A and B are shown apart, each in its own frame.
Chain A
Amino acid sequence: MPLIKLENVVKIYDLGAEKVYALRGINLEIEKGEYVAIMGPSGSGKSTLMNIIGCLDTPTSGRYFLNGVNVSDLDDNELARIRNKEIGFVFQMFNLLPRADALHNVELPLIYAGVPGDLRKKMAREALEQVGLGDRLHHKPNELSGGQRQRVAIARALVNKPSIILADEPTGNLDTKSGAEILALFDELHSKGNTIILVTHEVDVARHAHRIIRIRDGMIESDERVVDKIIARKG
């Protein structure tokens, strides 16, 4: 059973006067443990696809099975629980709570999962240690560098042991060095068995993945395995 299975997923935005076809029938399967990059120019529908895979949005038609569960017609609250359990988001804009320290930001998914205090703090601390921020637990986002903020966001994505880590342009707001560090971290997470889906428009970033799916005009243009991965990483 594939982790993710999309069957003829269509997304139409009804803007009143006109209908925008964001996705025109996507068929896609992703197995557990894969490292997939979704590429495409802006307006291609890759953000829409990411929102649907991330259970932030539902398809207009078609079906989406996550872990064998059809999530395409769940309501908002059920989707929230699925996101809490199954999905770890990493955003371009980090999207951390500005007034909360790193530890509390990482605790957030656990709070909504109902994990009690001591265990929650322990798990959040472990997640932060895993991304190399064990010494920054009580720093607020504005006291951290961009790269560190993104690590906090990754720790937050990891802490609930999700089925998928979904990263939307995770290096888009970072300098080259920090970006490389974040990508190295993703490689490491992947090697530990995590499933990672990376949305990007940069080829260099996409090359870290084992599989690259290109989207254009709401359709899958190509879906290929990266064969020169080792070379790409060395180069």
Chain B
Amino acid sequence: MKGSWIKSSRERDKIKRKNFMAVGFLLQLQESLKIALQSIWAHKLRSALTTLGVVIGIVSVTLMNMTIEGLGEAFRSSISSIGADVLYIQKWAWFAGEDWWKYRNRREIKISYAKDIKERSTYAVAVAPTVFNRSTVRFGSNSMENIIIVGTTDEFIYTAGASVEIGRFMSEVEVKAERPVCVIGAEISEKLFGNVNPIGRDLKIAGRTFRVVGVLEKQGKFLGLESLDDRVYIPIGQFMRMFPWRTGATIAVKIKNMDEIEEAIEELRGIMRTLRRLKPWQEDDFSVNRQELLLNAYNQTVGVIGAVGLGITVLSLIVGSIGIMNIMFVSVKERTREIGIRKAVGATQRVILMQFLIEAVMISSLGGVIGLIFAVILGFIVDQILPTSLPLWVVFLSLLISVIVGIVSGIIPAYKASKVDPVESLRYE
């Protein structure tokens, strides 16, 4: 019995030494994970409270990224509906900022300019004036309130970057003759007509009857906020008769070639200045807007969300790290004896360091996971106001941040633990 025990122990010694380097690290990692879990579980409330700062930080960073991603996605899908090669002549500059009064006092853009621009411009391939108003639309007993009615011309289909799903867009003749025809958005078709084919049907707009000639393809929400599919398009002459008090128009100009956009803008400004009869020393009293400006505004919005989010994140993560560091110091103090025992039986400084570091990282990661869950839940609420999206990299980034917080806040306590003197700590009661 005794003999075989010693003999086999020698063999074991051999195995031990052979495996020491390879298996050792993994074993100790496994042991460290086990200890960390035990320790966190033994102090459930303490651990939960400790994670609070990290939870808030991770909620903040995740929601921030979700919103920025969501806005970005919405923006990218919307940007095609205002094509890069389309210029918008408007009273207002997009995202005017502080010069509000200047724009306020400008004269309205007249619909008739569209015709003049079309005649004079060498860069324009399509020019469409558009005017908006809200009204009720009705089909049989179904009705929808507060629907945007767009008065425009046949060229709108070229400037809007939309395409027709069924039927056709209004024709030049229909626009000129101001015929009571309309083209409807996909959502109007769905909600008002249901399974009925709307082509050739009569739609009542503000009490007047329009024949539906086409349905536009689904375009989705503009910037994820405003639906482009619940609109009705009618000839601009009809619109002016129905809503004569609305005179402010937008003139969309699609240009031939993207490379000539600067020249096109200059030409349009010249044409507009002539139409407005501006003296050479007078400023433009109109704006030529382009997609790039929208991009700027988008970047600004994202920047603000980013800055606020980053601020909250950094602040709460600092608070979180200090919390974890504090609790880790307590943990090291409480377990001085345990450290001594482990060292006495052969734990090296590195092993002890790793053990406490892993514990800090686990507490922090726990906060990260809880934070992620909260962020996803809160995301549904934020979705009502701003579009959100949760790509995988956002999840990984949040988890990575929580791991880094754990390492940063755990390293000093862990170092302290690794330096515990076994002689002192075994005497420690």
Contacts and interface: CB of A to CB of B under 8 A. Distances in A.
A113 B347 contact: no
Interface in A79-128: 80-81, 83-85, 89, 91, 93, 95-97, 99, 108-109, 111-117, 119, 123, 126
A54 B351 CA distance: 20
Given A77-B348, A80-B343, A114 B426 contact: no
Contact of B423 (A56, A111, A117): A56
B349 A114 contact: no
Contact of B12 (A84, A89, A112, A123): A123
Interface string B20-61: 111110011001000000100010000000000000000000
A97 B28 contact: no
Contact of B347 (A93, A112, A193): A112
Interface in B130-159: none
A111 B13 contact: no
B422 A56 contact: yes
B172 interface: no
Contact of B346 (A51, A81, A116, A126): A81
B345 interface: yes
B246 interface: no
Contacts of A193: 6
B19 interface: yes
Contacts of A112: 28, 342, 345-348, 351
A95 B337 contact: yes
A53 to B, nearest CB: 12
Most buried by A among B13, B19, B350, B422: B422
B163 interface: no
A76 B15 CA distance: 25
A85 B346 CA distance: 8
B4 to A, nearest CB: 11
Interface residues of A, number: 35
Nearest to B345: A109
B177 to A, nearest CB: 88
B7 to A, nearest CB: 11
Contact of B27 (A84, A96, A97, A116): A116
B9 A161 contact: yes
B351 to A, nearest CB: 7
A156 B345 contact: yes
A177 interface: no
B2 A192 contact: yes
B426 A116 contact: no
B393 interface: no
Contact of A115 (B19, B22, B423): B19
Where chain B touches its partner, the secondary structure class is helix
B165 interface: no
Contacts of B12: 115, 119, 123, 161
Contacts of B6: 161, 193
Nearest to A51: B423
A161 B13 CA distance: 9
A108 B21 CA distance: 17
B426 A95 contact: yes
Interface in B339-364: 340-351
A76 B84 CA distance: 68
A57 interface: yes
Nearest to A99: B38
A109 B422 CA distance: 15
B16 interface: yes
A77 B423 contact: no
Contact of B344 (A76, A77, A89, A111): A89
Contacts of A83: 343-346
Contacts of B340: 95
Contact of B31 (A56, A77, A96, A111): A111
B338 A80 contact: no
Given A77-B348, A80-B347, A113-B20, A97 B42 contact: no
B341 A97 contact: yes
A95 B340 CA distance: 9
A80 B348 contact: yes
Contacts of B15: 115, 119
Nearest to A114: B24
A55 to B, nearest CB: 9
A36 to B, nearest CB: 20
Nearest to B38: A99
Most buried by B among A54, A85, A108, A119: A108
A91 B351 CA distance: 23
B5 interface: yes
A117 B22 CA distance: 14
Interface in A176-218: 192-193
A224 B6 CA distance: 30
Given A51-B423, A119-B12, A114 B345 contact: no
A114 B21 contact: yes
Interface in A34-87: 51, 54, 56-57, 76-77, 80-81, 83-85
B19 A114 contact: yes
A77 B347 CA distance: 8
Nearest to A100: B38
A109 B337 contact: no
Contacts of A126: 5
16 contacts: A57-B423, A80-B343, A80-B346, A80-B348, A83-B346, A93-B426, A108-B345, A112-B28, A114-B16, A114-B19, A115-B27, A116-B23, A156-B345, A161-B6, A161-B12, A193-B6
Interface of B: 2, 5-6, 9, 12-13, 15-16, 19-24, 27-28, 31, 38, 42, 337-338, 340-351, 422-423, 426
Closest 5 CB pairs of A and B: A84-B346, A114-B24, A112-B346, A114-B20, A109-B345
Given A93-B426, A114-B16, 9 more contacts: A89-B345, A108-B341, A112-B28, A112-B351, A114-B23, A115-B16, A119-B15, A161-B9, A192-B2
